[in-house]
Amino acid sequence: MTTTTEEHPAESHVFEADVARLLHMMVHSVYSDKDVFLRELISNAADACEKLRYEAIATPALLASDPDSRIVLTLDEEGGRVVVEDNGIGMSRDEMIEALGTIARSGTRAFMERIEANKQGEGAQLIGQFGVGFYSCFMVADRVDVVSRRAGADHAWLWSSDGKGGYSVSPIDVSEAPARGTRITLHLMDDAKSYTSRWTIERIVKEQSGHVPVPIRIAEKPGSEATQLTDGTALWTKSKNDITSEEYTDFYRGISGQYDEPALTVHFRAEGRHEYSALAFVPNSQPFDLFDPDRKGRMKLYVKRVFITDEAELLPRYLRFVRGLVDTADLPLNVSREMIQESAILASIRKGVANRIITAIEKLSENDSDAFLKLWEAFGSLIKEGIYEDFERRTQLMALSRFRTTASGEGYRSLADYVKDLKDGQQAIYYLVGDSLEQLKASPQLEGFRARGIEVLLLTDSVDSFWVTNAPEFEGKTFKSITQGSADLAQFSKVEQGAPASETAPVEVQAFIDFAKEKLADQVSDVRASDRLIESAVCLVAPEQGYDRQLEKILQGAGRLQAGAKPILEINGDHPVVKAIAARSDQPSLRDDAAFLLLDQARVLDGDKPADPRAFAERLARLMEKALQ
């Protein structure tokens, strides 16, 4: 049947005065990536096919002889056009004016009011309305023609606009329209002609719309045969029993951009108050963007199998090494799919997915220690961020953590292992923080602990300085830095000697310590005899209150701490050099130089430099001159 223009004359509609401002906002503010126009049009087309499928339950004749839904993308490089066509429900004249005129008729003020209403969680879900997503096509097209025929109708309509002054609606011969559904023709701007490239379109479809519930086909030029891009199924909607490990690996590589195999695959569907599907992968190797300063995650969010964003915080930041996606139909959205509304639903999804991933890692640690340790070496430093940030899971993450210790050899130990082997009377879990394992093993502060067989955690990650101060205890044992406060080692017998260490320094040594305390008062808060030194003459420790030595350095380096606390200088009263200096009470100038040199020696052992290099060199020269005489 043919519809004539006499029966239905063409109509011209003038946009309201503020529509230019509105479209400018849509093009330049709502969407940050021009590729999004194709996602929006495909999403709308898929929705139209789903609506037809629903209406056909009551009216099967709507499907006629074409029951299979499809979306066809046609490229026209010569004409500079892209066509998006579906065989969905289509639109009547009134529906076309309503759907494609939504923004135009609402005006900027009313539109913004709807945005604000949606931010409160009660407003309409604007992204589900055809008009909002549709207008993103004006980012790439200077004219858009929409031809639509509603399923079961005898009329077809043409909507056309340049997105500036207005739009027109006119009848069109049904022979020029789809049998049912909608055909959108984008007349591309000069700087958007790359969208006529099959490679470009195929990339966008697979990245953003590869799992919509309708098959997508592509024709490389008008009149050519269309080939299939996607089959309308989503891997994560299938049963785990129907998916092979190869399929999981291929999907992981596609979604993560990595070429290894996943160390863990977590695939589940949550049902109940909130329903969603999640498919997450723990890589086998560190992604290149793992230490991005913004600490952004890389989990993708889908709503009804349509890609929304990869910037929604679907996991705690310490799990940012996980790659994958979450698909839900429950999540409320505001203006665009890139601006996810913070909600209780999102928080529930984040909690559920994080719990499943951590549980999977725990099971790996129990069932395959070698695979777990490989995972820990790659991502352990990030998991420890969770001890600092995630109060709810802190104990769980501490139990999961593994450490190099003075008793671990080339392997790792858990905190449970550490606590099981505590010395009688030991009430603390001792730790030492530094830049490298070699540096820590050579630290003079370790000597007394090693001599008594007391295990010490050797922590080399930057986050270690923070989580140990934020973790109050593990199985009733507190954490204590061996570079801060007193060591309290006198109660423990030395492994080799089997006798308690002396609690007091010889009289001459104590006299020198008292002298050094007075002489160095401007640079240290105290000078005292040490029970933690065995081989070295001196070391520096932090006061009991405040930060330990390594954390203080980190904060100062980051500009978060202007001046650190004065350290404590500990002196080994049994060291030959200290005894020799203490015996020279009749040489005050030598004792002066020796006190300052011992302090600078302690600084060097601590990874610092002498406070005054010139004075250090002069004192050393004088001492060498006396020794050579």
- pLDDT tens readout for residues 215-235: 999 999 999 999 999 988 889
Q: Pick from 165, 127, 125, 162: which is nearest to 146 by CA?
A: 162
Q: Are 532 and 482 in contact (CB under 8 A)?
A: yes
DSSP 8-state class, residue 612:
S
pLDDT band at 122 (very low <50, low <70, confident <90, very high): very low
The highest-confidence range among 326-330, 412-416, 434-438, by mean pLDDT, is 412-416
CB atoms within 10 A of CB 585: 13
Question: Is the model's pTM score more than 0.85?
Answer: no
pLDDT of 13-31, one tens digit each?
Answer: 765 545 556 566 655 555 5
Least confident of 144-158, 372-386, 581-595: 581-595
Burial 314-323 (b: 16+ CB within 10 A, else e): bbbebbbbbb
In a 3-state reduction of DSSP, which class is residue 376? helix
Beta strands in 87-222 (DSSP E): 141-149, 156-161, 166-172, 181-188, 216-219
> How far from the centroid of its chain's Cα atoms is residue 201's Cα?
28
- Give the pLDDT mean for 617-628: 89
Q: State pLDDT tens for residues 253-297.
A: 878 877 789 999 999 999 988 899 999 999 998 887 777 777 788
Select from 481, 488, 489 the least CA-distant residue to 452: 489
Q: Which of 54-58, 384-388, 517-521 has the weakest average pLDDT?
A: 54-58
pLDDT cut 70: percent of the chain above it: 86
Residues 137-195: tens digit of each pLDDT: 888 999 999 999 999 999 999 999 988 778 899 999 999 999 999 999 999 999 999 99
Helix (H, G, I), strand (E, B) or coil at 149: strand
pLDDT above 90 as % of the chain:
54
Amino acid at 90: G
Q: What span, in angstroms and rounded, lies between the C-alpha atoms of 481 and 465?
A: 10
